[in-house]
A and B are shown apart, each in its own frame.
Chain A
């Protein structure tokens, strides 16, 4: 038996209209793949920020004239903090670490003894009954005047909101890409129907069901969609890896290491069947709708 996947009746091979469908599909799937990757990276970031908000409090103690006296005060503060309910651990950052943290901003000046760098205590708190920043400040204030307690709340919350809305934007971009793909398929299918009007009419006259005709358009569109989305994913993969490499070099301190996990890659690969399915269903309904208007 002759292999008739898209049917021999409709001469799609000669269409110019369907020639550009794979490339449009490739472009849209490429964008969608970037958005999907962005969505996952942002999700990781949001989780890390969330953890930070709930788990860490940073305490700054002004440096005095005498290092030895400062160290004694820090030791006292650590003892008090560790005794506090809800505190999991409290560690002083050593001088070298603080200098490292400030170096990107201050440059060589960070190493200068002229600038009085504050001391920093990193406190990890229990999620369940974390003490408020104000409570910690009230505890330490009598012993260490000028102490500053920061639970990062305000600006981490703001950052978290920004990341969460970016996640939504990524989702919306993916959905819009889906809509654009569907619209493209509608356009290409309509153009194809115009081009093959005579064939379609004759097929009708000899007793073809609308679905018989629609199936040929749908299979054709999904094959082209498949081809295009494979191209899109194949182009997106190296682009994403390059992006990750570049972003990794930037070294954001706050955000976790940017990496694309298995889940991300599976989701990106999932764009291929999704695009093919969109093409299939859209072409099929487009043809049925248009044929319904013919006699």
Chain B
């Protein structure tokens, strides 16, 4: 079994609320690349949270790298999480740490040697254009710069699965393309990638596969063109308004 992620009839509800996700079934191959789309509130972040073990499903079966998540002992979870890089929608950078230390975090908790950490982190921060901001605290960085720190932290440990929640939402087109290029490179090295986004142009341009969430259900589309109806466009319709705001 080569599946990096496998969901079977997964359902999720928060508290007594309605099911945000219903009967979600899909599998991601290693080396795959998907965009995750859906209107605001459709459950994109929730689906990603299930994949990076921040949330347990209310029903259904989830396996990561061939392991049933519900029966994986707690002691084995860090090993799973180290194979998963996450770019959070709200970044979740640690405010008391420099950009450098934030990016170094995944290596430090894995007890990588400090000399090696320095080399890798500096290289990556230069690559994402933050050469001059390594010592800066997140609060002194712009939204786009913070986002790049978050992305650097997600990819620093060469994850097998990269989950990004709107990673290009706060950057200009030039940097967005640069970041997409970074994801492409990572993907070529074998990392499976799922990017939740409202950026219609980016999805269309890439021609990548699409996971589409609507009404709590998930559909896998080979590419945007496959979308019958005008449904796909309508997925973004609500968001154009949001972006303008």
A100 contacts chain B at the CB level, 8 A cutoff: no
Indicate whether B79 reaches chain A with its CB closer than 8 angstroms. yes
Write the chain B residue with the least CB distance to A7: B108
* Pairwise interchain contact B109-A203, C-beta atoms closer than 8 A: yes
Task: Return A178 CB to nearest CB of chain B, in Å.
Answer: 30
Q: Which of B92-100, B214-222, B232-240 contacts A (4 or more CB under 8 A)?
A: B92-100
Question: Does B202 belong to the interface (CB within 8 Å)?
Answer: no
CB distance from A123 to the nearest CB of B (A): 73
A206 in the interface (beta carbon within 8 A): yes
Asked if B171 lies at the interface with its beta carbon under 8 angstroms from chain A, I say no
Query: Would B108 and A204 count as touching, CB distance under 8 A?
Result: no
Known contacts A8-B101, A9-B108, A209-B75; is A2 also within 8 Å of B52 by CB?
no
Partner of B78, one of A14, A202, A208: A208
Chain A residues with CB under 8 Å of B92's CB are: 198, 201-202, 205
In the complex where A2-B114, A295-B56 touch, is A205 in contact with B81 (Cβ < 8 A)?
yes
**A295: which B residues are within 8 A, CB to CB?**
53-56
Say yes or no for B12: interface residue by CB 8 A criterion. no
Residue of A nearest to B52 (CB): A205
* Chain A window 162-205, contacts with chain B (Cβ cutoff 8 Å), 1 for yes, 0 for no: 00000000000000000000000000000000000011011111
Nearest chain-A residue to B113 (Cβ)? Answer: A1
A223–B151 Cα gap in the complex (Å)? Answer: 36
* Min CB–CB distance B167 → chain A (angstroms): 16
Quick check: is A126 within 8 A (CB to CB) of the other chain? no
- CB proximity of B221 to chain A, nearest CB, Å: 29
Please give, as numbers and ranges, the residues of chain B lying within 8 Å of A201 by CB-CB distance.
54, 92
A2-B114, A295-B56 given; A205·B74 CB < 8 A:
no
Number of contacting residues on A, CB 8 A?
21
| A206 engages B105 (CB within 8 Å) | yes
Residues of A within 8 A of B52 (CB): 205
In the bound complex, CA of A77 to CA of B84 (Å): 99
- For A1, the chain B residues whose CB sits under 8 A away are 114-115
A199 and B94 within 8 A (CB): yes
Residues from chain B with a CB closer than 8 A to the CB of A212 are: 109
Q: How would residues 99 to 113 of chain B score, 1 for a CB under 8 Å from any chain A CB and 0 otherwise?
A: 001000110111000
- List the A residue with the shortest CB-CB distance to B56: A295
Which A residues from 75 to 96 make CB contacts under 8 A with B? Answer: none
CB distance from A294 to the nearest CB of B (A): 10
Give every chain A residue within 8 A of B97 (Cβ-Cβ): 8-9
B133 interface residue (CB < 8 Å to A): no
Bound-state Cα–Cα, A201 to B153, Å = 15
Q: Is the CB of A207 within 8 A of B106?
A: yes
Residue A151 at the chain B interface, CB threshold 8 Å: no
Bound CA span A201–B108, Å = 15
Q: Is there contact, CB below 8 Å, between A207 and B74? A: no
> When A1-B114, A8-B101 are in contact, do A207 and B94 touch as well, CB less than 8 Å?
no
Asked if A292 is an interface residue, CB under 8 A from chain B, the answer is yes
Query: Is A116's beta carbon under 8 Å from chain B?
Result: no
**Among B53, B56, B78, B81, which residue has the most Cβ atoms of chain A within 10 A?**
B78
28 contacts between A and B (CB under 8 A): A1-B114, A2-B114, A8-B97, A9-B97, A9-B105, A11-B96, A14-B96, A198-B94, A201-B54, A202-B105, A203-B109, A204-B81, A205-B52, A205-B53, A206-B81, A206-B82, A206-B106, A206-B153, A207-B78, A207-B79, A207-B82, A207-B109, A207-B110, A208-B78, A208-B109, A292-B74, A295-B54, A295-B55
Top 10 closest pairs, chain A to chain B, by CB: A207-B82, A208-B109, A206-B106, A11-B96, A207-B81, A207-B78, A1-B114, A209-B78, A206-B105, A202-B92
Known: A8-B101, A9-B105, A208-B78. 5 other contacts (CB 8 A): A8-B97, A11-B96, A206-B157, A208-B109, A212-B109
Q: Which residues of A contact B (CB under 8 A)?
A: 1-2, 8-9, 11, 14, 198-199, 201-210, 212, 292, 295
